[in-house]
Copies of this chain bind each other. A is one copy, B any other.
Amino acid sequence: MKLLNVDTLEEAVGKLLRAAETLPLHTQMIRTEEALGRILAGDAVSAEDIPGFRRSTVDGYAVVAQDTQGAAETLPVFLKLTEEVSAGQVPGRCLQSGRCAYVPTGGMLPEGADAMVMIEYCEPFGAGEIAVGQPVSPGRDVVPVGEDIRAGTVFLKRGTEIRAQEIGALLAAGIGKIPVFAPFQVTILSTGDELVEPGVTPGPGQMRDINTGVLKTLARQYGCDVIHTGLIKDEKEQFLRTVKAAMGGSDLVLLSGGSSKGNKDFTAEVIEQLARPGVFTQGLALKPGKPTILGYDEPSRTILAGLPGHPAAAMLVFVLLFGRIFKQLRGEKPPFCIRAKMECNVPGAPGRETCQLVRLLPAEGGYLARPVFGKSGLITTLTEADGYIMIPLNREGLCTGESVDVWLM
């Protein structure tokens, strides 16, 4: 069963991606040390080999490996100590067979040496000799030149999310600034005659607008700049003026409706009136999220979206549509999900895909997913949830014990 004029989530994502591909994907240069959470906009290539010298990974003696053949604790090999190399220093001489040099962790091996013997297996023996009690093969405890990062090769790909370790690798290669994707510019407008600003005490029948705050936070988490927010009344002229003004500088204008019927019509009408080619999705076969409206204005390169008024629905639709396409446009890896078993049966919605909020409970061998139920519009269903699962269009529901993928939220 397919609802008339309504897109599945996949269809809507496909249409959105086609529209979003025309959005300008700007990049900007930022300091590597400040790049946590940003997405690399170009491959990172090192100009140098890292390490730039043969580095010891242990405190010990640099040797010619062959000299240690047959060495044992009870029958050590005696090698003449030629020098003690300090950290950060270049060894003074080339190492010949029958000799050894002390090298600390991180220190440089002398030429001629091809392995390290850990200090634990060696003992000074007087007369400048070291008794080596362990045989080693060539390369043992030595990092060759370029083993960590090879000059001229890509060591981090475009689309990589910068974590602490990527900052480390970039700094190791001496790359102090990197290109990252510039944030998308987003305007968020809440509509609904019943809404008041969060700082205002609502009168009877009124509610505080929370969608703006929730969507602003989410948009930032997904790498957007929120350049303007506003609360507008269900009055068409004001609506038109505000949306039109927002289209100038925004890549995405999010309208989260009071969800009243009149309001829903407003959103579609306004997008149709202002945007060319206009609305391309009028309703999603998704629970929650049915009253979602998507459109595009080619001249100003703006995506326009009417999200449901219920906070849980608005949040989930944002994540499922925009969270996904923003990541895809920047070439990011998909996030990891957590495999869990359903704690109880949960019904799907006829003819619609269902996005079901769940809590994760530690259990033998993994997690149990407990559905968080609640009337639509309750924000506390979201605060109780750790994530969500998707119940496909063609499934009546999920059964107790069934394995599900939980997406953290």
Interface residues, chain A, CB within 8 Å of chain B?
32-33, 36, 50-53, 55, 57, 59, 86-90, 104-108, 119, 141, 143, 147-149, 155-156, 163-169, 171-172, 174, 176, 192-195, 198-199, 201-202, 204-211, 213-218, 220-221, 234, 258-263, 309-311, 315, 336, 338-339, 360, 365-367, 375-380, 382-383, 385-386, 403, 408-409
CB distance from A125 to the nearest CB of B (A): 19
Q: Please report the C-alpha to C-alpha distance between residue A408 and residue B155 in the assembled complex, in whole angstroms.
A: 21
Interface-central residue, A156, A169, A234, by most chain B CB under 10 Å? A169
A214 to B168, CA, bound (A): 5
- Whether the Cβ atoms of B259 and A105 lie closer than 8 Å is yes
A59 near B201 with CB under 8 A, answer no
Copies in the complex: 2
In whole angstroms, what is the CA distance A220 to B211 when docked? Answer: 28
Decide if A174 touches B208 in the complex (CB within 8 Å).
Answer: yes
Residues of B contacting A50 in the complex (Cβ-Cβ under 8 angstroms): 379
Tell me if B198 and A176 are in contact (CB < 8 A).
Answer: yes
Residues of chain B with a CB closer than 8 A to A210's CB: 168-169, 171-172
Task: Give A51's nearest chain B residue, CB to CB.
Answer: B207
Are A260 and B59 interface neighbours, CB within 8 A?
A: yes
Q: Decide: A259 and B106 in contact? CB cutoff 8 A.
A: yes
Tell whether, in the assembled complex, residue A216 and residue B315 are in contact, meaning their CB atoms are under 8 Å apart. Answer: no
Q: Are A408 and B174 in contact, CB atoms less than 8 angstroms apart? A: no
Q: Which residue of B lies closest to A378 (CB)?
A: B148
B207–A106 contact, CB under 8 A? yes
Report B-chain residues with C-beta under 8 Å of the C-beta of A57: 310, 375-377
**With A51-B207, A220-B36, A378-B148 given, is the CB distance from A88 to B336 under 8 Å?**
no
Partner of A408, one of B108, B172, B336: B336
Report which residue of A59, A217, A221, A378 has the largest number of chain B beta carbons within 10 angstroms of its beta carbon: A217
